[in-house]
Amino acid sequence: MDLTTILALIVSSTLVYSAPLIFTSLGGVYSENSGIVNIGLEGIMTMGAFSAIVFNLTFASTFGKATPWLGALVGGIVGLVFSLLHAVATINFHADHIISGTVLNLMAPPLAVFLVKAIYEKGQTENITANFGYFSFPGLANIPVIGNIFFKNTSLPAYVAIVLAILLSFILYKTRFGLRLRSAGENPQAADTMGVNVYKMRYAGVLISGFLGGIGGAVFAEAISGNFSVSTIVGQGFMALAAVIFGKWNPIGAMLSSLFFGFAQSLSIIGNQLPVISKIPAVYMQIAPYVITIIVLVAFLGKSVAPAADGVNYIKAK
């Protein structure tokens, strides 16, 4: 293999594996910046993946090429609805964020598989026909070398996710909504005295994480797994959570961390096709995201960079 081919292979597979992580971790960033810890991203992704696959299988003939995109949207909506559980429990009912998030993770796989069985009378769906596939940017793909590496046969959802990260970063740091959302996660009491509706902001944070987590799951299912079963989403949501932390609770940081984790993941899968890498046991690539997250947490002395009131219930005084 020549260098360009190797790089093209690495870049495109990195992008494929990063896309779901970017969407989901962006959701996590919004939830945590509003002050709600969301370890239920895994469960949300599962619901997104499930609903996208069902949509895709049902409507592929109707919508053709648009199907996976619409499927992702459906996944996002289902994820949003599912995340309502977490929002109500933590914001209105004073539930522990970790326990409530764990409930999402406990609930999603059986619920999705139950529904698969109820619909298809078997535990695993068929493979979808309309998947995201590979995309070549018209024009850009013809640029010598660079076009081959970055713009030919690549993952369009990943590029959408990257653009979205920039947009969400902009919203979080440059708009009124973003400022108020962050204030709910930094010092809800101060925010409240300044006239910010903390509950509303926290709902927004959690529901955005539900929507984006659902999309993340959908993208994973429609670009990578191709069908839905109980083992479709295994650790993707937790890896996205790791990306939130590694990215220091910042949309751009989460996006870059997701790219890095996607890179590590793809190496563990395509590594055997590559020189040098093929000699390293795949396990190192597999555990890299998790080990790095722990190291980063230790290096930052734990919680100093998280939003100050992340995970703290805010109970309005009467």
Partner 1 sequence: MDEQQNVIEMANIVKDFNGFKANNGINLELKKGEILALLGENGAGKSTLMSILSGLLEPTSGEILVRGKKVNIKNPTVAKNLGIGMVHQHFMLAHSFTVLENIILGHEPTNGPLLNFKKAREEVLALSKKYGLSVNPDAKISDITIAQQQKVEILKVLYRGANILIFDEPTAVLTPQEITEFIQILKGLAKEGKSIILITHKLEEIKAVADRVIVIRAGKSVGYFKVANVSDEKLAELMVGRHVEMTLHKQPIQLGPEILQVKELKVKENRGNLAVKGLSFDIHGGEIVGIAGIDGNGQDELVEALTGLRHVESGQVKIKSKDMTNQSPRKITHLGVSSIPADRQKYGLILQLPIAENLVLKNYYHSPFSKHGIINFDKIHQHAKKLIKQFDIRTTNENLAAGELSGGNQQKVIIARELNLNSDLIIAFQPTRGLDVGAIEYIHKQLLHERNNGKAILLVSYELDEIMQLSDKILVLHDGQLAGKVKPKTTNETELGLLMTGVKKERA
Partner 2 sequence: MIRVSEKIKKILVPITSVIAGFLVGAIIMMIWSYNPIQAYSSMFESALGNMNGIGETIREATPLIFTAIGFSIASTAGFFNIGLPGQAQAGWLTSIWIVLANPHMPKIVLLPLAIIAGAFAGAIIAGIAGYLRAYFGTNEVITTIMLNYIVLYSCQYLMQQIMPKSFRIDTDTTKTISENGSLHINWLSELFGSSRINCGIFLALIALVVFWFLMKKTTLGFEIKAVGLNPFASRYAGMSTKKNIITSMLLSGAFAGMGGVVQGLGTYQNYFTQTTSVDIGWDGLSVSLLGSGTAWGILIAALLFSILKIGGLGMQTAAGIPYEIVSIVIAAIIFFVAINYVVGLLFKVKKSSESHPLKKGEEIGPNNAVDGPDIKIPRSEVEN
**Binding interface with partner 1 (CB under 8 A):** 174-176, 179-180, 182-183, 186-187, 189-191, 193-196, 307-308
Give the CA-trace dihedral at 152, 155, 160, 165, to 10 degrees. -110
Q: How far is the CB of 6 from partner 2 (least distance, A)?
A: 25
Nearer to partner 2, 150 or 246 (CB): 246
- The answer to whether residues 168 and 26 touch, using CB atoms and an 8 Å cutoff, is yes
Q: How far is the CB of 27 from partner 2 (least distance, A)?
A: 17
Give the tokens for residue 168.
């969400």
Angle between helices 3-33 and 41-63 (to 10 degrees): 120
Cα–Cα distance, 101 to 186 (Å, whole number): 20
Please enumerate in sequence order all residues whose Cβ is within 8 A of that of 212, keeping only pairs 6 or more positions apart, or say none: 23, 24, 26, 27, 30, 76, 79
Residue 70 found at the interface with partner 2 (CB under 8 A): no
Task: Answer with the entry of partner 2, partner 1, none that 307 interacts with (C-beta below 5 to 8 A by kind).
Answer: partner 1
Q: 135 has which bridge partners?
A: 154
Task: Answer with the entry of partner 1, partner 2, none that 183 interacts with (C-beta below 5 to 8 A by kind).
Answer: partner 1
Q: What is the DSSP string of 161-174?
A: HHHHHHHHHHHHHH
Give the tokens for residue 260.
């890095």
Judged by CB under 8 A, the number of residues near partner 2 is 51
Nearer to partner 1, 222 or 310 (CB): 310
Interface of this chain with partner 2, residues 266 to 285, rule: CB under 8 A: 281-283
Give the tokens for residue 158.
């990943």
Nearer to partner 2, 156 or 285 (CB): 285
Nearer to partner 2, 66 or 287 (CB): 287
Residue 110 found at the interface with partner 2 (CB under 8 A): yes
Nearer to partner 1, 151 or 249 (CB): 249
Cα–Cα distance, 124 to 299 (Å, whole number): 42
Cα–Cα distance, 295 to 66 (Å, whole number): 41
Residue 7 found at the interface with partner 2 (CB under 8 A): no
Residue 301 found at the interface with partner 2 (CB under 8 A): yes
Task: Answer with the entry of partner 2, partner 1, none that 312 interacts with (C-beta below 5 to 8 A by kind).
Answer: partner 2
Interface of this chain with partner 2, residues 74 to 103, rule: CB under 8 A: 85, 89, 93-96, 98-100, 102-103
